[in-house]
Amino acid sequence: MEKERIKELFFGRKGKRYIYFTLFFFTFSIFILFAIYPSLKTILLLIKERDELREIEASYNSQIANIYQMMSEIEENRDKLYLVDQAISLFPQVNKITDDVKSLADKNNLFIRKASISDINLIIKKNDSGTVSLILEGTVTFDDLNRFIDDLFNQRRLKTIEALTITQDKETTESGKLDVLMKINSFYL
């Protein structure tokens, strides 16, 4: 009786349905595990990659917009680029610097007693600039010194005064004459 009941339970109408549903769900689970899960995993990875690529695209678009803006600024200022070359030359051009300073000294009554060039570094690292230092020693009045400095800064070639020492000239009989010691720097690429 037990055997018949077990046969009826497994091989009867209800039993066949239960076995069919159990095998269906087992097969469906295996199908999900081996077929659908990798596809879902791939879809999630692709969505993540798509989002990353959108961020990269936004960054590239920003860089391209910056390049276009720079190109338009360069185009607008193309006719003025020679001013940059005049302000900072590619080479030290020591003779040009000394001629400029000498002509300004003559114009502003600065008597140069001694002049020397120092600190020229001919080996320049990439994206760096070099300096040429001109050390002047002379006599001048205070007003002429002010005009000399103004004229020096108004020249196209970029120059700075790194050091300026002013003392009263004790040897001259003229009042208002000053001894001046200055270090003028000029730059090159």
Q: What is the pLDDT of residue 173?
A: 54
Residues 132 and 100 in one domain: yes
| Non-local CB neighbours of 157 within 8 Å, separated by 6+ positions | 86, 87, 88, 89, 96, 97, 100, 186
Quick: pLDDT tens for 128-171. Answer: 677 888 899 999 988 999 999 999 988 888 888 899 998 886 66
Task: Assess whether pLDDT exceeds 80 at residue 105.
Answer: yes
Contact 110, 138 (CB under 8 A): yes
Establish if 6 belongs to a structural domain. Answer: yes
Mean pLDDT of the region 109-129: 77
**Count of CB atoms within 10 A of residue 188's CB?**
21
Task: Assess whether pLDDT exceeds 70 at residue 188.
Answer: yes
Establish if 81 belongs to a structural domain. Answer: no
Contact 183, 161 (CB under 8 A): yes
Residues 99 and 181 in one domain: yes
Mean pLDDT of the chain: 84
Establish if 126 belongs to a structural domain. Answer: yes
Quick: pLDDT tens for 71-91. Answer: 998 888 888 877 777 777 777
Q: What is the pLDDT of residue 174?
A: 63
Residues 25 and 51 in one domain: yes
Establish if 161 belongs to a structural domain. Answer: yes
Residues 149 and 90 in one domain: yes
Segments forming the whole domain that contains residue 167: 86-188
Q: What is the pLDDT of residue 35?
A: 78
- Percent of the chain past pLDDT 70, that is, above it, reads 87
For the chain, what is the domain count?
Answer: 2
Q: Which of 74, 104, 131 is the last residue of a domain?
A: 74
Q: What is the pLDDT of residue 10?
A: 67
Residues 19 and 90 in one domain: no
Residues 68 and 147 in one domain: no
Residues 66 and 91 in one domain: no
CATH value at residue 174: 3.30.70.60
Residues 58 and 104 in one domain: no
Q: What is the pLDDT of residue 1?
A: 61
Q: What is the pLDDT of residue 46?
A: 95
